[in-house]
């Protein structure tokens, strides 16, 4: 077999030298503090069985979509699920994509036009950045959750393009940032977007199932859904399945069906995958005790880190993602390995995934973690520092 080019071998070697080489591993029987399955839906036998029964009841016996949704893959279950999602999120429409990555790639590569401006938080997910790179619009990042820096960029653009007031500005952020677990000041961000007539786009990947009375997400829990141009909702985290949806106006959905290449030129999700999304959403409406248990665990975790004096090393977060900053790839990997040896699945996040000096332990909390497990984990971290 032909060998990997020397230039690529060199890049791999650099990763090894920096102790930053990624690899695929199994967690085994460790206590889960690493997955994004916040509510345990991914392991729910009830959701699995309900999905199977739904397919039997509808006499759906198809293993794959058979084509893109614009050809042969647009099964009836898609429309039922999108209608349910749009109603659940109080949105005019929902369009399902194969993944959150596909949704962000499709949206940002298609919607902002040449001479438009995209202003995105510097900590936005790689899928958002990759979508923006495919866009013809200009783009600038603003300092993380810094509304003064954002407003400065908006004012500069409006001044430079005063002769072309129709040029659009898209402000992009996330409700919960995947590596820090923190949230922006959404009320103030909405106010700023309205002040300058901007289009606010929010990724809620790590918010669904965590915030809101029924886990509907942070935007909706604050009553801001009517003020958002587009929401990207991802199902692979709190919903425990696969896929994503873009929420917005009916015209936005129609536009994406016609111009979002990651939607047009890909085989659709299988009927089984879409049915799982529908059943998982139905479970959100009835599993308020599980959602409440997750919230209680988040509160308990924050109390524990304060009691142990660990609060200064953690990024401030009221979400299910809690990050302890431990600079240095070698050091954070060593600590994570010792924690794993004690039975806890906690992953180190290394540079270049995060900036050098911001390496961290990323701890994910779940409804099924016990308080005893949380306390034991925190005491183990305390003993290793």
Its pTM stands at: 0.94
Give, for 344, the enclosing helix (H) or strand (E): strand 344-345
Q: β-pairing, 199-203 with 244-248?
A: unpaired
In this prediction, residue 100 carries a pLDDT of: 97
User: By the 8 A CB rule, do 87 and 122 touch?
Assistant: no
Token digits of residue 274? 């879409």
State how far the Cα of 42 lies from the Cα of 260, in Å rounded to an integer.
29
Among residues 225, 207, 224, the alpha carbon closest in space to that of 215 is found at 207
B/e letters for 260-275, b = 16+ CB within 10 Å, e = fewer, are bebbbebebbbbbbbb
In the chain, the domains with their CATH numbers are: 46-284 (3.40.640.10), 287-384 (3.90.1150.10)
Longest Cα–Cα distance of the chain, Å, equals 63
State how far the Cα of 187 lies from the Cα of 166, in Å rounded to an integer.
25
Which residue matches tokens 């603003």? 142
State how far the Cα of 193 lies from the Cα of 169, in Å rounded to an integer.
9
User: Percentage helix, strand, coil, to 5, in the chain?
Assistant: 45, 15, 40
* Side-chain-facing half-sphere of 249: CA atoms under 13 Å: 8
- Give the pLDDT of the chain (385 residues) as one tens digit per residue: 999 999 999 999 999 988 888 888 877 789 999 999 999 999 999 999 999 999 999 999 999 999 999 999 999 999 999 999 999 999 999 999 999 999 999 999 999 999 999 999 999 999 999 999 999 999 999 999 999 999 999 999 888 776 666 789 999 999 999 999 999 999 999 999 999 999 999 999 999 999 999 999 999 999 999 999 999 999 999 999 999 999 999 999 999 999 999 999 999 999 999 999 999 999 998 988 999 999 999 999 999 999 999 999 999 999 999 999 999 999 999 999 999 999 999 999 999 999 999 999 999 999 999 999 999 999 999 999 8
């Amino acid at each position: 077999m032909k060998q990997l080019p020397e230039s690529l071998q060199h890049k791999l070697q650099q990763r090894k030298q920096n102790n930053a080489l990624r690899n695929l591993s199994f967690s085994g029987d460790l206590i889960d503090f690493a997955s994004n399955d916040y509510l345990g839906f991914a392991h729910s036998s009830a959701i699995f069985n309900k999905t199977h029964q739904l397919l039997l009841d509808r006499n759906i016996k198809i293993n794959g979509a058979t084509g893109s949704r614009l050809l042969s893959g647009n099964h009836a279950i898609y429309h039922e699920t999108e209608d349910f999602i749009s109603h659940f999120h109080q949105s005019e429409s929902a369009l399902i994509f194969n993944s959150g990555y596909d949704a962000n790639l499709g949206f940002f590569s298609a919607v902002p036009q040449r001479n438009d401006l995209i202003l995105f938080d510097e900590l936005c997910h790689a899928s958002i950045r990759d979508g923006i790179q495919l866009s013809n619009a200009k783009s600038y990042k603003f300092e993380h959750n810094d509304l003064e820096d954002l407003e400065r960029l908006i004012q500069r653009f409006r001044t430079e393009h005063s002769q072309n007031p129709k040029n659009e500005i898209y402000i992009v952020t996330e409700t919960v940032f995947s590596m820090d677990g923190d949230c922006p000041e959404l009320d103030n961000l909405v106010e700023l977007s309205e002040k300058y007539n901007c289009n606010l786009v929010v990724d809620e990947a790590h918010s669904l199932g965590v915030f809101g009375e029924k886990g509907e997400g942070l935007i909706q829990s604050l009553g801001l859904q009517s003020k958002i141009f587009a929401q990207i909702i991802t199902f692979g985290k709190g919903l425990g399945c696969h896929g994503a949806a873009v929420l917005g106006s009916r015209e936005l959905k129609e536009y994406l069906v016609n111009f979002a290449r990651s939607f047009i030129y890909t085989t659709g999700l299988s009927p089984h995958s879409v049915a799982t999304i529908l059943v998982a959403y139905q479970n959100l409406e009835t599993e308020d005790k599980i959602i409440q248990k997750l919230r209680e665990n988040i509160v308990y975790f924050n109390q524990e880190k304060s009691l142990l004096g660990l609060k200064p090393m953690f990024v401030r977060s009221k979400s299910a993602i809690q990050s302890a900053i431990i600079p240095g790839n070698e050091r954070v990997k060593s600590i994570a390995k010792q924690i794993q040896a004690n039975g806890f699945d906690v992953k180190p996040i290394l540079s270049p995934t995060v900036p050098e000096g911001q390496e961290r332990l990323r701890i994910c909390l779940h409804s099924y973690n016990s308080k005893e497990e949380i306390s034991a984990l925190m005491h183990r971290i305390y003993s290793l520092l």
